[in-house]
Chains A and B, each alone.
Chain A
């Protein structure tokens, strides 16, 4: 009972990371494709401004996912990290590079330096979500079981590849939708058009990948495939598709106020559908929620921790996003800290 509730908390935390963190990865994806220093200057400027105040908070969802895993379902945590060692190690390194590249690019004034940090940030923004997707694909296709040791089959398989690519496409989609809305907020009409186009393209990419993925994963990830195409799982998938279609419609009609919410709903519903399709397994088809659950007393406390987290962190996050959307958050500039130009700086 309690274990089921905690498993849903886990799904929700994954969904939150997919949406919040995903948006940031997507921003990095578009940074990568923004072109040379001159052509890419304006999109990059927008990406910088949109991401800077929120990416650190968004990253904490991942930590929260890990904490729920190792406190609530220790054996599952052990199994996932055992079998998926390499993609997770690569994701970890990617995360470090992405954050550091992003943070160091901002205060760097020389063009060469900005290029290097920017490239590191952008490339790792592409690779990290891919590896997370790969892990999810491996879990969904039943390749992770307690006692599995790391092998390349666990993650170099059709389902993992499809899931990895889908994850990247989904982040690109979220990133572009959010950047469209941000561009409008900052009153940059050229960028609104720029990112609107990209949002629609990435949505198309998702559709293509899904169409390819359906036959490819049918026998590879049978249990989850069945769950996603029947009953409640199917209902959520349909809802997710509707949310995506609505987003496309809003974008096409240039109504930007709600498109963020519908895009997030689409991604979150997809994650929820996956969670539903896996029931009652945490690791299909070897470990159920009940088998993996940690000590009952701990789970009760984990529930309390979660409730407090919602009460404590919820308002803070709302305040942050609110101030951010109101445009009250701006980085300090050189004139604020009274800095001068140093030799070698590019303006």
Chain B
């Protein structure tokens, strides 16, 4: 279409690689964030149970999750640090112009990261030597620090979505900055709560999914039951909450970012009695191919009655709104998120029903199959949610105040593509190695649990003192595991 070519002509060639790089690195970092935010909480729950009831199995789970956390946290940190660089490497003009308006949210984030890094180090390395309850209590501020960190990041992002807290002078530069307004922007509250709950929910389903797989393979001991129940219960309670928060957020987007909402629901012309499309594709001329059409529903969802007027994409000029392709991407991302969110509710209800009737886990293998994929589905949902947010904002980096193409770096395009290539390669290796390390840890644990000596060990002399005695003097042994560890008789996996 004419407008598209015009748009491309005005867009510096750096925009494409810069966007791809930003999207790729953010999309990778966000996969770890649920665990950075919520795994400490879930681990602390298990830890509490272990200490309170003297439950050896629970303590073993908590310690193993800590070992996982140690690696995951480090990968989260390095992938996050690169994002801070990218604000300068890719979007220097956004920071140069708006840094003093919205940058402060990141200041809050810095406190949180400090606290988190300190507390997590104490928690992870405190298992052996700190007194049990001291150790536990030193860990309890961790979830709060994580929520504080998310506060900073989401404040910055929601400012990009609904910028305020400044006025523009004659040259178009921001003056009269009011920090409070710039942090608490209209979309901030709904976005923050929806995001925070998403993190706890996702971490819960992913962790539970690991034990659901074990359950399906016939490992139905107390270890797997506990490892499944605690995180799954957290996630199942949050699922309906998340549904309401999502519904609320969508309505806020309708009011505060109408063009984004139009993209998410592929509404072409402003109208009342707007139908809802499930999936389907928006064409350049405003027609829609495919998809399931439900009359009136979109208006009802947006304003509770069919006569609600919904703003369409054409309400703004073509180069002020997402293209038809972008709108289709946003629409699919949004629909996948809402679909998975609804399916997860069914899963949570199934669980609640069985618990209510029999005080027991569901017996059906299908339940555990679904639970096993729920984790991956939640991660997918998180990605979809962010695609909705970010692609739906296009072509603006600061909604209706700065275009992505005006923010991008002037560095050579080839440098950007090279960096993109290197980063992708590095991330593939890092994430691959990360997974390999996790799988290896799991194998080691399983071998220990399945060997007779391992089972005896669980009841052995250490059982009474879950905070086992210190073994070996550090100065004389390397990183060697203790020599008494049983060797497995059979194969690995």
Contact = CB atoms under 8 A, between A and B. Distances in A.
Given A70-B95, A338-B454, A316 B118 contact: yes
B177 interface: yes
Contacts of A333: 471, 481-482
B361 interface: no
Instruction: For chain A, give the interface size range.
Output: 35 or more
A104 B78 contact: no
Contact of A100 (B74, B445, B484): B74
Contacts of A335: 468, 471, 481-482, 484-485
Contact of B441 (A81, A107, A188, A330): A107
A320 interface: yes
Contacts of B314: none
Interface stretch (B82-90, B291-299, B337-345, B384-392): B82-90
Interface in A259-302: 294-295, 297-299, 301-302
A1 interface: no
B60 A309 contact: no
Nearest to B449: A338
Contact of A66 (B88, B451, B492): B88
Contacts of B354: none
B37 to A, nearest CB: 16
A86 B418 CA distance: 11
A299 B103 CA distance: 11
B449 A95 contact: no
A230 interface: no
Contacts of A107: 67, 70-71, 437, 440-441
A246 interface: no
Given A82-B92, A295-B175, A342-B488, A320 B449 contact: no
Interface in A68-123: 70-72, 74-75, 77-82, 85-86, 88-89, 91-93, 95-100, 102-104, 106-109, 117
A340 B92 contact: no
A294 B103 CA distance: 10
B95 A56 contact: no
Interface string B52-96: 000000001001101100110111011101101111110011011
A36 interface: no
Contacts of B95: 70, 74, 77-78, 81
A323 B127 CA distance: 13
Contacts of A109: 440, 444, 481
Nearest to A314: B114
Given A103-B70, A103-B71, A106-B479, A97 B426 contact: yes
Interface in B420-445: 422-423, 426, 430, 433-434, 437, 440-441, 443-445
B100 A294 contact: yes
A2 interface: no
A146 to B, nearest CB: 9
B475 interface: yes
B133 to A, nearest CB: 15
B3 interface: no
A328 B126 contact: yes
B488 A340 contact: yes
B422 to A, nearest CB: 6
Contacts of A66: 84-85, 87-88
A342 B110 CA distance: 40
Interface string A49-60: 100111011011
Given A71-B107, A77-B95, A82-B410, A104 B441 contact: no
A149 B409 CA distance: 9
A334 B121 CA distance: 18
Interface string A307-347: 01100110011011001000111111111111111110101
B415 A85 contact: yes
B433 A334 contact: no
A57 B177 contact: no
A88 B85 contact: yes
Contacts of B178: 297
14 contacts: A42-B478, A63-B109, A74-B103, A77-B96, A95-B81, A150-B412, A186-B475, A294-B99, A298-B101, A305-B104, A313-B115, A313-B118, A332-B128, A337-B64
Given A70-B87, A335-B481, 13 more contacts: A45-B479, A62-B84, A74-B98, A88-B88, A89-B85, A100-B78, A103-B70, A323-B130, A334-B482, A338-B458, A340-B444, A340-B448, A341-B481
